[in-house]
Amino acid sequence: MLKEYGVDSVQQLPFNFDAYRMQKGEEHEAEIYFKHYALLKQTYEQQSQTYKMAAALSPFLPTRFLSMAIARTDYQAHWDFADAAEKYRINMQAALNDNFAKNSTYGDWDYKADKSLWTSIPDFSYTPITMGEILERNSSNIVILFSWLFISFVGLWLAARKI
């Protein structure tokens, strides 16, 4: 940065280097967060595949997963919300650090942003997935439940024929 701006020290930069450094730290932390969160999601998906294979053995599992999805209390709903919230946090932090960098000097930790900064940052807005998307994501659970229902009716019909 010193070479790029042709200065000898961070104090001579036309922006607050402390804020710049904080933003770079945020970006690095976000990269690590998303990397490890992706690994966690991958582990969950592997576990989920095992459950899906076992779902044919009992109607409990597909009912449970479909119910959780409809109530938006499943992992997918959690991840959708957590990802949106983290993206909002990253953008908000970038706006704060950028404002701090442009409007203060190196070592100036008493800087306070004015109201215009806070009004320029949009409110957090999250739109959950639609019921159609939920049903599409859970089509295998629905098929398994209808299969169990069909098998139950066939069994009931065969039992009733014998009586």
- The model carries a pTM of 0.77
Amino acid 9: pLDDT: 85
CA 73 to CA 69: how far, in whole Å?
Answer: 6
Cα of first residue to Cα of last residue in the chain, in angstroms, is 88
In Å, how far are 11, 25, 63, 64, 160 from 105, measured between CA atoms? 7, 19, 59, 56, 85
**Residue 130 banded pLDDT, cuts 50, 70, 90:** very high
Residues sharing a CB contact under 8 Å with residue 107, sequence separation 6 or more, in sequence order: 11, 18
Q: What's the whole-number mean pLDDT along residues 103-130? A: 90
pLDDT higher than threshold 90 for residue 153: yes
Residue 1 is given by DSSP the state -
pLDDT at position 111: 87
Average pLDDT on 114-134 reads: 94
- Average of per-residue pLDDT across 85-95: 94
Residue with tokens 């004015």: 114
> Which of the four pLDDT bands, split at 50, 70 and 90, describes residue 104?
confident
Lowest-confidence region among 48-52, 67-71, 79-83: 48-52
Give residue 56's pLDDT. Answer: 83
What is residue 38's predicted lDDT score, i.e. its pLDDT?
92
Confidence class of residue 91 from pLDDT cuts 50, 70 and 90? very high
**Contact (Cβ atoms closer than 8 angstroms) between residue 91 and residue 124:** no
* Cα(105)–Cα(127) distance, integer angstroms: 39
Compute the distance between CA of residue 20 and CA of residue 11 in angstroms, rounded to an integer: 12
Q: What pLDDT was estimated at residue 16?
A: 86
